[in-house]
Structure 1
Amino acid sequence: MTIVAIEPATPERWPDLERLFGPTGAYGHCWCVYFRRRAKDFTASISCAPPERGAANREALRRITLDGAVPGLIAYDGGEPCGWVSVAPREDFIRLSRSRSLRPVDPDEPGVWSLVCFWLPPRRRRKGLGSQLLDAAIEHARAKGGRVLEAYPVDTAGGRAPSAEVYTGTVRMFQKAGFACEPHPVSERPIARLTLKDD
């Protein structure tokens, strides 16, 4: 697959992101704010009946994007949006700080960025686009001054798993990109880390 460009989700690209996620907001009306919202707020948004289901999540992502915070990167093929990766400073993801399984070991560590999600339409999967988005996320975080990029992949032991279960990426994918993967000291869930800048 040839990707024309991978670009930051800046305010003028909001319509592209909205089109890419479609009426269901990517994964089950999530709008890629699962890690950005408090659990009760996120749950309330997806518990509504249509057409309100996910509307508060969509509005949260729209507000972040239009405020210029750059919540992630959009891949384009022939001018059409075809993929997404959510990458931003770790403190932007409130759910990480409250999670037993993903809570930072050193919450005061400076310059940590987090990659929390990939979204690829079904026909774009298993063609290398995720790896291209990962490479772009590494360069984006580095260019913005990140010292470490952290991610929370799923260990599929080299096999396949349903896409909805591996939206955070796989251990193998991150290891191929140079990340070290170690178990979280409490949950033993894999945490992938890559040093972007040496002190």
Structure 2
Amino acid sequence: MSVSDIEVKPAFQFDDVATLLGPKNPSSSVCWCLSWRLSSAENRSLAGPQRADKVRELVSRDHAPGVLAYRDGDVAGWAGIAPRVELHPIDHSRRIPHIGDLPAWSLWCIRVRPGFRKQGVTEALIEGAVNYARENGAPVVESYPVDNRDERVDQTMAFVGTRVMFERAGFAKVADTQSVSGGFPRIVMRRMLS
């Protein structure tokens, strides 16, 4: 199979987002990709089904909270993409610097379902997220991957992506951060869209 077999769409389908991000037990308080979107206080205040309700709210807005990849009609992956100003922990971070004055969009999370990995889904998600940002007027997309220097990244921390992954997608490193994920330093990478 090739990347061309993968369709990437804005994440307006709650059930498909839930397949990628939701817990098996609806009362569990998992991330739902909200930890990098909400203030610490709001994030802590939402538990179990309230987290799902927040995602339902996000997918019902005019712009989606991310994109979903599909292969043969099955949801295969998720990428969180949004204007940086909507992502409280990133926009207010003391560890991840702001670069310039352009209203950047942030691509902060990538997740591929088991059974769809190593099939080009990640590449399709990154390109689909960039295209979605471009369609919504973004002048630049940022990511904050680890600079792992080809060392293995723990699966639980792989959601931030790697430097090489984003370089292959046309991003360039623009800054170091004071943030670490899975023991590796994170960097700021950007892809200009205009």
Interval of TM-score (by shorter of Structure 1 and Structure 2): 0.7 to 0.9
1:75-124 alpha-carbon deviations (Å, 9 max, x no partner) = 11121111100111111111112222114244xx2331110101112322
Match of 1:189 in 2: 186
Q: Percent identity?
A: 30
SS in 2 for 1:115: strand
C-alpha deviation, 1:154, in angstroms? 0.9
Moved more, 122-131 or 147-156: 122-131
Contact 2:6 2:124 in 1 (8 A): no
Give the Cα separation in 1 of the matches to 2:40 and 2:167: 30
Equivalent position SS for 2:62: coil
Residue in 2 that maps onto 1:48: none
Q: How many residues align?
A: 184
Q: How does 1:69-108 map to 2 (within 5 A)?
A: 69-106=63-100
2:151 match: secondary structure: coil
Q: Which amino acid aligns with 2:158?
A: V
Listed one character per residue, the Cα deviations across residues 167-186 of structure 1 (whole Å, up to 9, x for unaligned) are 01111111111211133365
Segments of structure 1 that go 5 or more residues without pairing to the other structure are 46-52
Tell me if 1:123 matches 2:120. Answer: no
Asked if the contact 1:111/1:145 (under 8 Å) is kept, the reply is no
Q: Does 1:8 align with 2:10?
A: yes
Any stretches of 5+ residues in structure 2 without a counterpart? 180-184
Q: TM-score, normalised by structure 2?
A: 0.84
Which structure shows the bigger proportion of residues in strand conformation? Answer: 2
What is the CA deviation profile of residues 12-36 of structure 1, one whole-angstrom value per residue up to 9, with x for unaligned ones? x1222223334259xx711111111
Any conservation in 1 of the 2:36–2:87 contact (CA below 8 Å)? yes
* 1:133 equivalent in structure 2: 125
| Structure 1 counterpart of 2:166 | 174
Partner Cα distance (2:167, 2:6) in 1: 25
CA contact (8 A) 2:6 2:121 kept: no
Q: Which segment drifts farther, 122-131 or 93-102?
A: 122-131
Is the partner of 2:42 in helix, strand or coil? helix
